Structure 1
Amino acid sequence: MDKLVIYGGKRLKGIVEINGAKNAALPIMAGTLLVEGEFIIHNIPLVRDVFTMSEVLETLGAKVKIEDHTAIIDTRGAVGYEAPYELVKKMRASYYVLGPLVSRLGRARVSLPGGCAIGARPVDLHIKGLRELSVKVNLIHGYIEAEAERVIGNEIFLEGVKGPSVGATINTMMAAVRCSGKTIIDGAAMEPEVVDVANFLRTMGAEINGAGTRRIEITGVKKLNPVEYTIIPDRIEAGTYAVSGVITNGDIVLRNVIPEHLDAVLKKLEETGAVIERRGREIRVKGQGRIRSTDIRVSPYPGFPTDMQAQFMALLCIADGVSVITETIFENRFMHVPELMRMGADLTIDGQNVVVRGKPSLSGAPVMASDLRASAALVIAGLVATGKTEVSRVYHIDRGYEKVEEKLKRLGAEIWRVRE
């Protein structure tokens, strides 16, 4: 098992290339199951979750080849309909095969993913979306078993108690693209990754309107085609490196980004005192000395993303003053708090809030990652901490960040990976 070793105190400076969005790549890879043929998908991030999705597709009979950030996926021939527990337990996003398999084969059997480190994250809205499309769905022996003689369009209210669901919106959209009639998804998620999947499906020949709004309309089509497609940049990876630049009082350029996807994150960075320059597909981020405190409330897009909550907590640990971070989406997404406290942070959990009392510095310590974004927060804290920080269980960060230590090293960080 690997760990990252960091000696903090280095000012980050330079250019960092942002990879394709993991949270768009995974459903788009699953979406290739909708039709037989060869797909060419560009800007694929080389992260653990992408390789797990490749395993899922291969289990279902597809052929997958990934070279130089391009995936060639051949879905011709027999395609299975079961995604087993052994694979789904590695990555919740395996359930994205549900919609495409039901659409193409009329049946799917996908293991329930179970809980995870940041909460239960139930699949109830995925099941609701399928059932509203006249798909029979049963939970049997830990599996979601779905079957439909014909997928029939319907008007579906898909918002849950915690707001819209990106996963359920995408799964329902993929299930509906070849349905009989029209489907309307009210309460749809508006995230850029939803829009990217919709654009991919439209390129295939689907009729989808309203992606990026709370109401998506899908008119079923009889035929879809395999296509070549390029995935959008990863806004969360970009935000993570932006925070890394600010916390080290650095000066970095994020290359291959869509700045408007980062509006909420960039506005909060400006509130902390950072200077932000947007120029085409690049963003320059400059630290300006002491960091100012600010309050953050997580909310669905276009609000502040839950996937940036942990990274900003690390930043605010050394801010002047007191900040309050409110997590409204996941009930257990503060597992990085005790690890940051090991580094000297002054944090208090109060229900869905964390009170962050800024301190002049953090001190390096051995810490343990609990999930993908928590691991990124610990690395960010290590970049500014005095002395040595060791982050263990970094397989979490490998799920969503490609060669993170190499990118940070090119920016001037003193960081390397070692085998424990």
Structure 2
Amino acid sequence: MDRIRIVGGAPLNGSIPISGAKNAALPLMIASLLTPQTVVLENVPRLSDVRLLMRILGNHGVDASIDGKRAGQAEDHGETIRFTAREIVDTTAPYELVSRMRASFWVIAPLLARMGEARVSLPGGCAIGTRPVDLLLMALEALGAQVDIDAGYAVVRAPTGGLRGGEIVFPKVTVGGTHTALMAAVLANGTTVIDNAAREPEVTDLANCLIAMGAKIEGAGTSRIVVQGVTSLDGCRHPVLPDRIETGTYAMAVAMTGGDVTLENTRPDLLQSALDVLMRTGAEISSAPNGIRIRRSGGSIDPVDVTTEPFPGFPTDLQAQFMALMTRARGVSHIRETIFENRFMHVQELARLGAHIRLDGDLAIVEGVPVLKGAPVMATDLRASVSLVIAALAAEGETMVHRVYHLDRGFEALEKKLGRCGAQVERISG
């Protein structure tokens, strides 16, 4: 099993290309099930979750082919992948595949919309508390689907004549629920109104792709989305938007170590709340051509309190990384997690590096320390694993991060990107 060895203490200087967003790429890939025509996605990140989802889609009959790098295209540029679901050969998504990645449960909506039925295993993925699929199934029921849970599978059937438009009111903001509602509603008969819809950029990206395929969608990016169903969808060509979580992660790494780094191929509007928080810690952030420049030339890190919120608030997927930064702040910070329960599993491992963190329910109280010291640590999930990398970059001595397969699920070529900016980072195989 691979490990990552980090010798901390070096500032980061240079440039880092930001990959396409995994959280956008996965639902875009799943949307290819809605049409027999070819959907071409550009800037797809090279990640293990992408490869796993390609296998899952292949199980349903989707042919996926990766285009070669075009002449003059940078090596760091994401892949272009063509998805063609000419014929759906199986409407069952089996446990052995779905249990490895929660997002794969979203295939339930396009399978139901196109084929009138689906049987999908209840999901697995990151072990960070309860992520019930109840809201996703509620959305399908609102469009007329019959939903049953049988032997660990969700079994859904459309009424005679297909799904019909309806009103979906989510009791709380849910990205997965909004993705599901969109992919089901685009082929439903009539108009669907989605209230309390997620406003995340990845939801807007999915809506834009569906519109390019011929869907009629208004209001994406707001809390109320209106979908007028169509009889069929075409193929399209669509670029995956930049990864705001990867952008924020590297920005926090620079704020932690000091240095001057330009994050390329990204947009500040995708994570303005996180950038505002970083500036309050003392980091300097400015626009750069096609990206963001972040600098910290010295001095202490100021403590800042944050609460995770749905977009446009501070993202839960940057909570662990920000906590790593606050372990070196001059004073006490408070970090409240309101999106997911049990998302503080990185605390114990940060403590192994010398961090002082106390938990009180959904609140982490972080008392900054002058020095972190390298130690062996173990990743527990995707975001926790990268928080340990950030902390290790600023720690004295050597840190060995174990179970880095979590990193490979969401960060493309992390050790290479950090290494080109002066970090001493090495992947050790076996």
TM-score tier (shorter): over 0.9
Distance 1:347 1:264 in 2: 24
Match of 1:283 among 285, 289, 292: 292
SS in 1 for 2:271: helix
Distance 1:71 1:298 in 2: 33
Q: Give the corresponding residue for 2:31.
A: 31
C-alpha contact 1:137 1:144 (8 A) present in aligned 2: yes
Q: Gaps spanning 5+ residues in structure 1: where?
A: none
Q: Give the corresponding residue for 1:254.
A: 263
Distance 2:88 2:414 in 1: 38
Q: Give the corresponding residue for 1:331.
A: 341
| Residues 139-181 of structure 1, C-alpha deviations (whole Å, 9 max, x = no match) | 0000011111310000110133xxx000010111100001111
Cα 1:96–1:280 shift into 2, 3 Å: farther
C-alpha contact 2:99 2:125 (8 A) present in aligned 1: no
Q: Give the corresponding residue for 2:169.
A: 157
Q: CA deviation at 1:246?
A: 1.1
The one-letter code sitting in structure 2 at the alignment partner of 1:128 is M
Q: CA deviation at 1:212?
A: 0.5
Q: Give the corresponding residue for 2:322.
A: 312
Q: CA deviation at 1:79?
A: 3.1
Equivalent residue runs for 1:14-413 within 5 Å = 14-67=14-67, 68=69, 69-114=79-124, 116-148=126-158, 149=160, 150-160=162-172, 164-289=173-298, 290-413=300-423
Q: Gaps spanning 5+ residues in structure 2: where?
A: 70-78
Distance 2:293 2:125 in 1: 38
The one-letter code sitting in structure 2 at the alignment partner of 1:17 is P
The one-letter code sitting in structure 2 at the alignment partner of 1:92 is R
With the length of structure 2 as denominator, give the TM-score of the two structures: 0.96
Q: CA deviation at 1:395?
A: 0.4
C-alpha contact 1:115 1:121 (8 A) present in aligned 2: no
The one-letter code sitting in structure 2 at the alignment partner of 1:133 is L
SS in 2 for 1:43: strand
Distance 1:81 1:24 in 2: 23
Distance 1:137 1:50 in 2: 28
Give the aligned CA root-mean-square deviation in angstroms: 1.0
Distance 1:133 1:63 in 2: 29
Distance 2:129 2:66 in 1: 32
Q: Give the corresponding residue for 2:429.
A: 419
Q: CA deviation at 1:72?
A: 1.1
Q: CA deviation at 1:89?
A: 1.1
C-alpha contact 1:268 1:294 (8 A) present in aligned 2: yes
Distance 1:111 1:63 in 2: 22
Q: CA deviation at 1:288?
A: 3.6
With the length of structure 1 as denominator, give the TM-score of the two structures: 0.98
Distance 2:257 2:124 in 1: 38
User: Quick check: 363-372 or 79-88, which moved more?
Assistant: 79-88
Distance 2:358 2:429 in 1: 33
C-alpha contact 1:156 1:184 (8 A) present in aligned 2: yes
Cα 1:193–1:78 shift into 2, 3 Å: closer
Distance 1:407 1:32 in 2: 31
C-alpha contact 1:245 1:286 (8 A) present in aligned 2: yes
SS in 2 for 1:362: coil
C-alpha contact 2:191 2:226 (8 A) present in aligned 1: yes
The one-letter code sitting in structure 2 at the alignment partner of 1:294 is V
| Residues 338-393 of structure 1, C-alpha deviations (whole Å, 9 max, x = no match) | 00000000100111101000011100000000000000100000100000000000
C-alpha contact 2:62 2:83 (8 A) present in aligned 1: yes
Distance 1:291 1:65 in 2: 46
| Residues 171-219 of structure 1, C-alpha deviations (whole Å, 9 max, x = no match) | 1110000111100000100000000000000000000000001000000
Moved beyond 2 Å, runs of 4+: none
Distance 2:289 2:146 in 1: 47
Distance 1:115 1:56 in 2: 14
